[in-house]
A and B are shown apart, each in its own frame.
Chain A
Amino acid sequence: RKEVEQDPGPFNVPEGATVAFNCTYSNSASQSFFWYRQDCRKEPKLLMSVYSSGNEDGRFTAQLNRASQYISLLIRDSKLSDSATYLCVPYPGGSYIPTFGRGTSLIVHP
């Protein structure tokens, strides 16, 4: 099983839609999690950190299910500017090196 698995998409949604991505991770000792967004030909940028059961920041909500080893990202009221690749990044326990998945591509269209 890969350390991080994400549906690569792309997810094509209209403006205003609600969309959710899931990310599964294999290391049960992972202590914290991050969602990064990466625009085309740009570097990844931090979107949200998750240290407990979840986190919410405006239109973005992350939820962690440790029992099933997955983390989700929910985007409400999608904007055109949300179009990007979303990377799930668990921080494995006992390691100093975060693991990046391939990401999920989101395309928001008018």
Chain B
Amino acid sequence: GAGVSQSPSNKVTEKGKDVELRCDPISGHTALYWYRQSLGQGLEFLIYFQGNSAPDKSGLPSDRFSAERTGGSVSTLTIQRTQQEDSAVYLCASSFATGAGNTIYFGEGSWLTVV
């Protein structure tokens, strides 16, 4: 596609339920990032995928969070047993390659509300 596509755009879920957020990066982009942003806060790095390499999971806040990337393209971020503090916008981004100088492009985000 022309840009990074994320779904759902909005999700309201009950505390304790599992949610899956999907990201379809720009075609040809090998690097994929997940960030989250709580209201009024900065972007918090969650996880990074590059090609077939093992992902960098250093930003995942707890073991309730996991992500996978199938076939080097689409990625799914899963949050198990959601908590109210998980409410945020989850932003996916991709870039053509990695390293300094590679612009990353963001999707419009998945707005998650845990009630």
Q: Residues on A close to B: CB < 8 A?
A: 30-32, 34, 41-46, 49, 51, 87, 91, 93, 96-103
* A82 smallest CB distance to B (angstroms): 20
Given contacts A96-B31, A102-B41, contact A44 B106 (CB under 8 A): yes
Q: Which of B45, B98, B103, B109 makes the CB contact (< 8 A) with A43?
A: B109
* B29 smallest CB distance to A (angstroms): 13
On chain B, which size bracket covers the interface?
20 to 34
Q: Residues on B close to A: CB < 8 A?
A: 31, 33, 35, 41-43, 45, 48, 50, 56, 89, 91, 98-101, 103-109
Q: Is the interface of A mostly helix, strand, loop or mixed?
A: loop
Q: Does the CB pair B99–A46 fall under 8 Å?
A: no
Q: Does the CB pair B103–A49 fall under 8 Å?
A: yes
- Beyond A91-B101, A97-B45, 11 extra complex contacts between A and B, CB < 8 Å: A30-B100, A31-B101, A34-B103, A41-B89, A42-B108, A43-B106, A49-B101, A96-B56, A97-B48, A98-B104, A100-B43
Q: Which residues from chain A contact B89 at a C-beta distance below 8 Å?
A: 41
CA distance A92 to B31 in the complex (A): 16
CA distance A11 to B109 in the complex (A): 26
* B33 smallest CB distance to A (angstroms): 7
Q: Which residues from chain A contact B99 at a C-beta distance below 8 Å?
A: 91, 96
